[in-house]
């Protein structure tokens, strides 16, 4: 058998053994890519409960440029949460749930207020948002 033909056969055999490995690797790589893309497109979700006259949690830290979904849940009457400087305002009905998606574009500390009048402590019902790099 000529030497060149023998080499070609060896390469073909090697290719056969390598191909599955390459295929599986590509499959894993694509899975990782999909997972990464999914992580990027799914905003972080933060749940906040509102009850006369307290938001829980009372403080939240976010990253600038990171999209978030703020889910506001009322445990009693209608409430709202407004961060004026960030252009965010979400209102929730009595005992209901509402959400707003936003991406903080400024670094700093922002105080959000209840934006639906809810009684004698309404003016003190606040949530502090820290936006960091």
Residues that bind another protein (CB under 8 A): 84, 113-114, 117, 120-124
Query: Which residue, 125 or 131, has its beta carbon nearer to another protein?
Result: 125
- Minimum Å distance from CB 60 to another protein? 19
Query: Which residue, 17 or 120, has its beta carbon nearer to another protein?
Result: 120
Query: Which residue, 49 or 126, has its beta carbon nearer to another protein?
Result: 126
- Measured distance CA(76)–CA(49) in Å, rounded: 10
Query: Which residue, 51 or 82, has its beta carbon nearer to another protein?
Result: 82
Encoding tokens for residue 53?
């006259």
Distances (CA, A) of 20 to 1, 13, 33, 34, 109: 29, 12, 20, 21, 54
- Minimum Å distance from CB 91 to another protein? 12
Q: Which of 106, 105, 123, 101 is nearest to 114 (CA)?
A: 123
Instruction: Name residues whose C-beta falls within 8 Å of residue 124's C-beta, 6 or more positions apart in sequence.
Output: 53
- Minimum Å distance from CB 95 to another protein? 21
């Amino acid at each position: 058998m000529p030497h060149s033909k023998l080499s070609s056969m060896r390469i073909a055999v090697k290719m056969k053994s390598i191909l599955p490995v390459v295929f599986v690797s590509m499959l894993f790589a694509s899975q990782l890519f999909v997972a990464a893309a999914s992580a990027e497109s799914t905003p972080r979700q933060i749940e906040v409960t509102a009850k006369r006259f307290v938001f829980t949690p009372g403080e939240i830290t976010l990253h600038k440029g990171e999209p978030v979904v703020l889910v506001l849940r009322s445990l009693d009457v209608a409430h709202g949460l407004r961060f004026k400087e960030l252009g965010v305002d979400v209102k929730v009905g009595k005992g209901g749930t509402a959400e707003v998606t936003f991406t903080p574009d400024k670094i700093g500390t922002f105080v959000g207020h209840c934006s639906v009048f809810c009684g004698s402590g309404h003016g003190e019902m606040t949530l502090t948002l820290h936006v960091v790099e």
